[in-house]
Structure 1
Amino acid sequence: MCAGLSAVQFALSGNYPAAIAAIAVAAVLDALDGRIARLLDATSKMGAELDSLADAISFGVSPALVLYIWKFDGNRLGWVIALVFAVCAILRLARFNTLLDDTEQPPYAKEFFVGVPAPAGGLLALLPLILTMQVGQDGWWSTTPVVMGWTVAIAALLISRIPTLSVKTVRVPARMVAPLLVLVGLAAAAVITYPMLALACALVVYLAHVPYAVRRNHWLANHPEAWDVPPKERRAIRRAHGSNRRLGLRPPMRKVAGAARRAVSAARRGNGSGDGHRGGTVLLPTDSSRVRRAVLRGRGWRRTGLRRNQSRPGSGEQ
């Protein structure tokens, strides 16, 4: 909460890089406070209420005021836009608190947020200001209409029903720990060397993950068998369901049809008159159950590669 309020003070003094850094620090603290409380066995209902209050100030009120001071100062419409963003951020937090008590959600729902979370939304709203600080001059991204439209769009994402991934449920495999530590070190070096550029890239990557999160949520909703299984088994289920469809393949009926042709040829070469033919239609031998099931499945003689055996005069068949 103190970091979020300090961002407003930095903006009032014209120190916009410090204002952005203060809100980024608030986002980092928001990601750590719950984990630290659980590690220290210091969780409480009061802490949960304070967390929501601090989020409302740091990621709803503070970004709105920073944007107003930077671009909308003296603009009545700009003040309305700032109010819309702050209200949407607070509504998003209120809905998040109500969903915590919803016991009717499917098991996979804990892997997603409903809408963009408040810390990400507060930083995304500042992306035009971050780009301006990185480039060092104003551009089309910092014009008043663009900033207004961008702020309203992020406010809409906050209160939307679009699923986004929750990093709280991510489990890192043991073999990926070392590469992940290397990436964390590179990210830390990038933040120290090019802080604004690194933050802008992270925000763009976060926006790019939204279509993947929507697709993943839709897939899980349609595959209940994957709700309670580890990620490795989920990938196996996804490959089993989607490999043929992605490649445009059909079920392997050609092999069945080839076996059916061989069975029919063997029946025609037989010397019995009633064991292989009946009613002018070639029947399959009793020991070829696989072929018989393919034919009796309702796919038709042509789709299984068979032809009707036309009765020949003098063959003794009626």
Structure 2
Amino acid sequence: MNPIKANIPNSITCINLLAGCLAIITAFHGNNLLWGMPAYLWAYIFIAIGAIADFLDGFAARALHAYSNLGKELDSLSDLVTFGVAPGIIVFNLMSGWTEALQWLPWTALLIPVAGAIRLARFNIDTRQTTSFIGMPIPANAIFWIGYTATFMNGADSLFSSFVFLPVLLIECWLMNSPLRMFSLKFKNLKLKDNAPRFILVAAAIAFCATLGVGGLMWLIIFYIGLSILFRG
């Protein structure tokens, strides 16, 4: 295969990685203004760019038949940065800047990338996860924490209290490495019968974001978990 063609998916994966790095950098500015808006919003945007690249690299690999072990490992490493480390740093910095937070509490957010790394390592050696997931996929983890922190920044201070945050953190980390089967968002065709949960999730995403804004992403992932249980992955 032409080496340029073979490396197109890997190049897109590197965009995911770069976006994750930028998300981490901007997250360290917390709620301070950066380029005209709060820095944590830029972190959200960079994670979204990473998610788009993560979708496109797989699409390009399938379209060009450019699969490789290198691409698989590079994809997982990039996903860990963008969807594991970046959301963990967002939570850490926003919680650190909250005057009511206990001094030790923000550090527990580092469990997010740890659980994400374990999830990706398990995924790479699990041959059963081809058409569905076992455990919550790590991009969904990032989407949840974006929605969670956005809801907090909109005035829901209780989300960063130890009584709420710690149980949510532990449940999220467990979900990524749980035996729960969750359906993939890949559409093999556009038939309603074959993609009912996917179409429902797309409709829910529009409804949650239209009514709750970015904070609706938290409820979207909770809905996704429930929908996966209903449809059994």
User: Offset of 1:138 from its aligned partner?
Assistant: 4.5
CA contact (8 A) 1:125 1:150 kept: no
Match of 1:308 in 2: none
Task: Please report the TM-score for the alignment, with normalisation by the length of structure 2.
Answer: 0.72
2:224 maps to 1:209: yes
* Matches for 1:57-68 after TM superposition, within 5 Å: 57-68=81-92
* Matches for 1:119-268 after TM superposition, within 5 Å: 119-133=139-153, 135=154, 137-173=155-191, 187=206, 197-217=212-232
SS in 2 for 1:209: helix
Closer, same or farther: CA 63–127 of 1 in aligned 2, 3 Å: same
| Counterpart among 17, 20, 38 of residue 4 in structure 1 | 20
| Counterpart among 106, 124, 138 of residue 78 in structure 1 | 106
Instruction: Give the number of equivalent residue pairs.
Output: 199
User: Offset of 1:214 from its aligned partner?
Assistant: 2.4
Q: How far, CA to CA, are the matches of 2:215 and 2:182 in structure 1?
A: 19
List gaps (5 residues or longer) in structure 2. Answer: 1-16, 31-38, 194-198
User: Offset of 1:170 from its aligned partner?
Assistant: 4.8
CA contact (8 A) 2:24 2:43 kept: yes
List gaps (5 residues or longer) in structure 1. Answer: 219-318
CA contact (8 A) 2:131 2:184 kept: yes
Q: How far, CA to CA, are the matches of 2:156 and 2:228 in structure 1?
A: 33
Task: Tell me the percent identity.
Answer: 27
Q: Deviations over 1:128-155 (max 9, x none)?
A: 211134x3x3432343542333222211
CA contact (8 A) 2:144 2:221 kept: no
Q: Which has the higher contact order (CA 8 A, sep 6+)?
A: 2
Q: How far, CA to CA, are the matches of 2:68 and 2:219 in structure 1?
A: 35
User: What root-mean-square deviation, in Å, do the aligned CA atoms of Structure 1 and Structure 2 show?
Assistant: 3.2
User: Offset of 1:88 from its aligned partner?
Assistant: 0.7
Q: How far, CA to CA, are the matches of 2:92 and 2:124 in structure 1?
A: 28
Closer, same or farther: CA 50–132 of 1 in aligned 2, 3 Å: same
2:73 maps to 1:53: no
| Counterpart among 96, 120, 128 of residue 123 in structure 2 | 96
Q: After TM superposition, what 4+ stretches of structure 1 lie above 6 angstroms from structure 2?
A: none
Q: Deviations over 1:146-178 (max 9, x none)?
A: 233322221111111111111125531289xxx
AA aligned to 1:213 is S
* Matches for 1:27-38 after TM superposition, within 5 Å: 27-38=51-62
Closer, same or farther: CA 170–28 of 1 in aligned 2, 3 Å: same
User: Offset of 1:77 from its aligned partner?
Assistant: 4.1
Task: Please report the TM-score for the alignment, with normalisation by the length of structure 1.
Answer: 0.54
SS in 1 for 2:133: strand
Larger radius of gyration: 1
Q: Deviations over 1:54-77 (max 9, x none)?
A: 011111111111111110468334
Q: How far, CA to CA, are the matches of 2:143 and 2:163 in structure 1?
A: 19
User: Offset of 1:112 from its aligned partner?
Assistant: 2.2
Q: How far, CA to CA, are the matches of 2:229 and 2:192 in structure 1?
A: 27
AA aligned to 1:157 is L
SS in 2 for 1:161: coil
